[in-house]
Structure 1
Amino acid sequence: MSLKIILTGLIILFSIKAYSSERKIKFSFNDKEIIVALEDNRAAESLLKQLPLTLRFEDYSNTEKISYLPEKLDVSQAPDSCTPHTGDLTYYSPWGNLAFFYKDFGYSKGLILLGKIESGMEELKELDKALSVKIERMNK
């Protein structure tokens, strides 16, 4: 193998790692953390631009934990619906709220997938008990 091929491979590998760390956010509360890997869509980018944020979550319909953002997300060019699964972070565009699903749910118009929980799934059940949840971009 030539040195050029090896170096090119390493550059690609490090680029992927750098990109993936930029696309993760952390929800911190009560000495707990939930790490979310974000999707590659305009709504997720729009969320990143609002960070850091401090929000309060509430339980909704025994299926999801929700919180309202200070500003609506840019949903242009994002899929306008999804079928959420346990661990999905979504945005419900008609109401302007984030929603973490802790149970699978049916196809929903207006629901945009923002990301998936990468670690801290077990902490999700406590999210609505926190007085405040800090949301920030992971270190690059």
Structure 2
Amino acid sequence: MKIAIIHEDQRLTATLTDTPAARHFAELLPLALTLTDYAATEKVADLPATLPTQGSPKGMDPSVGDLTYYAPWGNLAIFYRDFGYANGLISLGRIEGGLGFLERPGPIAVRFERLPTE
């Protein structure tokens, strides 16, 4: 499934993984969140619901552009810098192309929306 991450008149596209956590995230859409910087590595925001983690790997080593769920804190994390392995980090999908506005410092108000299927 493809989703859009929208900030003002700019749009990024991401492809979600076919996992229970990513499917549940998609059910929350449309969703407006304010992403804030964390550790000069990722943009994070609290989610309005806990995502399922059963069947997910115990953690992952995220890359730039990964859309993830950090289960211990229940938040969304989008990586704009490389990071090492983290327990409790679950892949939700990946942003296609550049990160655009996500690389800007400070909080960013965004909207996540499902894109029509082809």
Q: If the length of structure 1 is used for normalisation, what is the TM-score?
A: 0.78
Amino acid at match of 1:134: R
Specify the alignment match of 1:110 in structure 2.
88
- Aligned mate of 1:74, from 52, 57, 60: 52
Matching of residue 87 in structure 1 with residue 81 in structure 2: no
The equivalent of 1:124 in structure 2 is: 102
Say whether 1:38 aligns with 2:20.
no
Following TM superposition, by how much is the alpha carbon of 1:44 offset from its aligned partner in structure 2, in angstroms? 0.3
Give SS of 1:123's match.
Answer: helix
**Which is higher, the Rg of structure 1 or of structure 2?**
1
Kindly provide the CA deviation profile for residues 93-124 of structure 1, in whole angstroms up to 9, marking residues without a partner as x.
00011101011111100000111111342222
Q: Which residue of 2 aligns with 1:136?
A: 113
Change (3 A) 1:127 1:24: farther
How many pairs does the alignment contain? 117
Per-residue deviation, 1:126: 3.1
Contact 2:7 2:101 in 1 (8 A): no
Is the 8 Å Cα contact of residues 56 and 128 (structure 1) preserved in structure 2? no
RMSD of aligned residue pairs (Cα, Å): 1.4
- Do the aligned residues in 2 keep the contact of 1:35 with 1:120 (CA within 8 Å)? no
Question: Alignment partner for residue 60 of structure 1, among 22, 33, 38?
Answer: 38
Q: Secondary structure at the match of 1:57?
A: strand
Q: CA deviation at 1:129?
A: 3.8
Matched residue type, 2:25: L
Contact 2:37 2:107 in 1 (8 A): no
Distance in 1, matches of 2:2 and 2:105, equals: 18
SS at match of 2:92: strand
Confirm or deny that 1:29 pairs with 2:34: no
C-alpha displacement of 1:128: 4.6
**2-structure distance, mates of 1:127, 1:43:** 28
2: CA distance, partners of 1:44 / 1:82: 15
Output one character per residue of 1:45-64: Cα deviation in whole Å (capped at 9) or x when no partner: 11011111111100000000
Please, which runs of 5 or more residues in structure 2 have no aligned partner? none
